[in-house]
Amino acid sequence: MWNKTFKTVIASGAILSMAALSACGSSGGTKPEGAEGAAAADSGKPAAGGPTTVTLSVMTSNRFLELAKQKFEESHPDIKIEIKETVAAPPSDGKMMTVKAGEKPDPKNLEKFVTTVNTELMSGKASDIIVTDGSFPYKKYADKKLLENIGDLMKQDSTFKRDDYYTNIFDAMVYKNAIYALPAKLSLNWLIGNKPALGGAAIDDAKWTWKDFKSIVEPLTHDANKDGVQDAYALVNTDAAALFSCMVNSGFGQLIDWSGKKFDTQSFTDMLKLSKSMADAKLVTKEGMDRSTVLFNSFSPKQYEDMVLILQAQFDGKGALYNVPGFNDTRGLSFTSDALLSVNAKSSHKKEAWEFIKFMLSEEMQQTRDLGGFAVNKKASLARQEQLKEIGAGNGKMQMKLMNKDGTELKLRTPEQHEIDRIEKALNNVRLYAETDPKVIAIIEQETASYFTGQKSAEDAAKSVQNKINTYLQE
């Protein structure tokens, strides 16, 4: 949703990243580089006098997992961590990591990972720990009693202090009074609004819906001076299908009732009609436009630095953050995670698996930039926030450059305290995990294509989706 590409270079930590701006329909985590994982797992049983092996399945390993494995094994010589990759990560020199905003994992790789883990879980041969980027339908397997309640592991461990963490994040993951997937890190979901262009528009983003969004942007997108050129667009690089994808992502939890195994066909039909009506009214455009004509951009920061850098760059530093609208419900700030941790209910090494998970949540590991996201550990998060004061200070501790695509440099300023405080406020107030399921999304994309080309009515398209998703939910 942005016509400019920004490149950030951070000397300390040697990180090269792209700005965390993406098309509104983007979902799924990024795939950072990392060392190649270990070979196939053994039974996990220690040899005589040897360490216990805890296996961990992940689509593609990354530097955070490799670093956690290394440090954990150093402090726990009686436990070996074996990382099982479905798709090997590209080679890394260990010095630089590249992350592109909006980059999605290859759907074929996702499918391969989910299929592999599904087969292993159903056969009782899954790894002790499963790490997913949010594409794994953990609720489906929790209902089959194949995942352990991590909440119980927390309660049974007297050394684990819940108050050391943003417990609201744990609460957001509760399903049927249990926690079956625990995020090791977060990415927050926002819209950045072009405040000057929005004028005095009254936006209550604590409870606004996509219908409210339409009402707000409609009067701001007209051709007021009658020159034949529309004054502004709510979103760019966004056609009706992409806008609909945005709505589905923000309302996924409302559409899919895992507990009742039901699909909300009426809300889905309403989403289809609303997205098309907004596109027909030219409130959004699939074209890329000059940023002065854009009212909103999607913003999913994955690093603390993004919260400073992107907001200084976007809309000439005059952007405002808003929660993503919901659909007929109160939504608030939501998050995603490309590091959800689950424990195999049939694992014979649950205690050791929990020890490694707890280590990944420790202040030491959560404070490293290799985490690649917002920490769930409070002390680690506050330490990372404190480091932001070094941006633009010229003291050599965090030398950073923000470059426009044309090679010009955007001068950075040291963030003010209130700009840093909003990160802590957000982490304390986030309440909703923006879940998804690649199979459900694939069904939706396939069955709604004919609606957006005018071949099917919204009702017929929704009925086709309903039939296929209900079958999937019952599997």
Tell me the per-residue pLDDT of 156-166, one tens digit each, with 9 for 90 and over: 999 999 999 99
* 348 & 462 share domain: no
Residue 414 in any domain: the answer is no
Residue 268 scores a pLDDT above 60: yes
Nearest-CA neighbor of 314 among 186, 210, 402? 402
Residue 107's SS3 state is helix
Half-sphere exposure of 324 (CA within 13 A, CB side): 29
* 296 & 442 share domain: yes
Residue 468 scores a pLDDT above 60: yes
Q: What is the pLDDT of residue 397?
A: 57
Q: What is the pLDDT of residue 91?
A: 65
CATH number of 469's domain: 3.40.190.10
Band of pLDDT at residue 224, cut at 50, 70 and 90: confident
* 346 & 232 share domain: no
**Cβ-proximal residues to 141 (8 Å cutoff; 6+ apart), any chain:** 118, 121, 147, 180, 342
Residue 410 in any domain: the answer is no
Residue 459 in any domain: the answer is yes
pLDDT tens digit string along 279-311?
A: 999 999 998 877 668 999 999 998 999 998 888
* 12 & 135 share domain: yes
* 142 & 214 share domain: no
The secondary structure of residue 415, as a DSSP letter, is P
Residue 293's SS3 state is helix
* 353 & 460 share domain: no
pLDDT tens digit string along 112-130?
A: 999 999 999 999 999 999 9
The secondary structure of residue 104, as a DSSP letter, is -
Mean predicted confidence (pLDDT) in 426-444: 92
Mean residue pLDDT across the chain: 85
Residue 283 in any domain: the answer is yes
The number of angstroms, rounded, from the C-alpha of 349 to the middle of its chain's C-alpha atoms is: 29
Residue 15 scores a pLDDT above 80: no
Query: For the chain, how many structural domains are there in total?
Result: 2
Band of pLDDT at residue 200, cut at 50, 70 and 90: confident
Mean predicted confidence (pLDDT) in 308-332: 86
Of 344, 364, 379, the residue at which a domain comes to its end is 379
* 237 & 182 share domain: no
* 167 & 203 share domain: no
Asked whether 438 and 111 are in contact (CB, 8 A), the reply is yes
* 204 & 156 share domain: no
Residue 394 scores a pLDDT above 90: no
* 103 & 232 share domain: no
Residue 390 in any domain: the answer is no
H helix or E strand, kind and range, residue 155: helix 150-156
**Cβ-proximal residues to 139 (8 Å cutoff; 6+ apart), any chain:** 175, 180, 258, 435
Asked whether 80 and 73 are in contact (CB, 8 A), the reply is yes
* 40 & 165 share domain: yes
Q: What is the pLDDT of residue 125?
A: 95
Band of pLDDT at residue 20, cut at 50, 70 and 90: low
Residue 450 in any domain: the answer is yes
Band of pLDDT at residue 327, cut at 50, 70 and 90: confident
Residue 464 in any domain: the answer is yes
Q: What is the pLDDT of residue 256?
A: 93
Mean predicted confidence (pLDDT) in 170-174: 96
pTM: 0.85
Q: What is the pLDDT of residue 413?
A: 84
Residue 102 scores a pLDDT above 50: no
Band of pLDDT at residue 14, cut at 50, 70 and 90: very low
Q: In terms of pLDDT, which residue wins out, 410 or 20?
A: 410
* 320 & 230 share domain: yes
Q: What is the pLDDT of residue 289?
A: 78
The secondary structure of residue 314, as a DSSP letter, is G
**CA atoms of 399 and 13, how far apart (whole Å):** 10
pLDDT tens digit string along 34-93?
A: 333 333 334 455 555 689 999 999 999 999 999 999 999 999 999 999 999 998 876 655
Q: What is the pLDDT of residue 63?
A: 95
Range of the domain at 238: 187-326+435-474
257-266, 277-286, 314-323, 405-414: range with lowest mean pLDDT: 405-414
Residue 400 in any domain: the answer is no
